[in-house]
Amino acid sequence: MNFTPERRRVTIHDVAREAGVSITTVSHSLNGKGVVAAATRQRVLDTAERLGYSADAIARGLRSNRLGVLGLVIRPLDTLDSYQPVGVDYFVRFAGAAAVEALDRGFGLMLVRDPTTKNVPGIALAVDGFIISDPLGHDPVIELLQRNGIPLVTVGRDVDRADFTDWLGLGTDGDTRAVLNHLTDRGARRVALVIGTDTNAWNADSEQSYRVWAAERGQTAMVFQQDETAGEPGGEAIAERMLTAAKQQAVPDAVYCLTGRHAAGLQRRFQLAGYEVPADVMIVAGSDSEQTRNSTPPITSIDLAPEITAKAAVSFLVRRIEGDIESSPPVIENVLRPRQSTNRVAVG
């Protein structure tokens, strides 16, 4: 036995007829809009309750241009081309938290892949607003949404779009300095940085902060780049390059990898070459993940707190949708989780 019953909703007309009033009065009573006598209003409310009426979201959406749905685009997943990157729990946690927060505010949350591609459902452009996580430089998605007048908020700014200010900072500068200071506190002298290749703010700002920090200390900057999709083998490859440096002097005694997978692979390769972690080289990851938690030794990481970021993003977007032009985006605070990979006492 299968159920595909007649889809007959109880409409506002039914309530109006039953309560002996016009649909206007029903609408007003339910939404507290017009002026309606208390007694009448109560009668309408009761019959609506009795009939199990609730306004059709689509019809309402058509009339009031407000669907009650937020769109979420996670750009790194678009480029990763797989939505199941094993061990990367940041985005999942982000999406889950965003969904819950949206629900709490009376919105649904729709996951959407790059809406500039063909075959994207029309509904994508009908949502009330978008959260774009980690946009690329000159991101065409932002372009498209702006052209359609759809409110949007990004998590991490578009590095090539200085005039767009509705973004939440990721606290990248603070994080980077926290990591670098943590490392030098433990005696690191030559800290290298490994970033990804996506043109997003996380990569760009981390590099920028690192270079400034290095310059302040008169240290030569050592920046390596590796594709986000390369995973642990990508980390190994970078380690390979570091180890085969021309002069032994140039081999770093601490490495800050933004992604956890690079960090895990890199640490393994260093160990294979006979380096002790943390004694000979210390490792830090910019994003906590399964790999950082479970490497041997466990890798010190920034816990990116996607739940907090997601909540903030939803709340910020909702304010924008509701016409709050002023409120400025909150600043996200992340926390450094020291683990064994940097558990070394400072050397005078």
- Least Å from the CB of residue 35 to DNA: 4
x/- letters, 9..48, toward its own copies (CB under 8 A): x---------------------------------------
64 interacts with DNA by CB under 7 A: yes
- Do the Cβ atoms of 210 and 222 come closer than 8 Å? no
- Least Å from the CB of residue 113 to DNA: 23
159 interacts with its own copies by CB under 8 A: no
Which one of 7-15, 256-264, 298-306, 317-325 is the stretch in contact with DNA (CB under 7 A)? Answer: 7-15
| Beta pairing, strands 222-225 & 254-257 | unpaired
319 interacts with DNA by CB under 7 A: no
Alpha helix (H) ranges present in 71-191?
A: 75-80, 90-104, 140-147, 172-185
Distance (Å, whole) CA 267 – CA 183: 15
Q: Compare residues 12 and 97 and give the one whose CB is closer to DNA.
A: 12
Distance (Å, whole) CA 302 – CA 292: 10
47 interacts with DNA by CB under 7 A: no
- Least Å from the CB of residue 120 to its own copies: 7
27 interacts with DNA by CB under 7 A: yes
For the CA atoms of 302, 195, 135, 260, the dihedral, rounded to the nearest 10 degrees, stands at: -40
Which one of 187-195, 211-219, 267-275, 317-325 is the stretch in contact with its own copies (CB under 8 A)? Answer: 317-325
- Do the Cβ atoms of 317 and 166 come closer than 8 Å? no
Nearest to 81 by CA among 183, 194, 204, 228: 228
Which one of 11-19, 220-228, 304-312, 322-330 is the stretch in contact with DNA (CB under 7 A)? Answer: 11-19
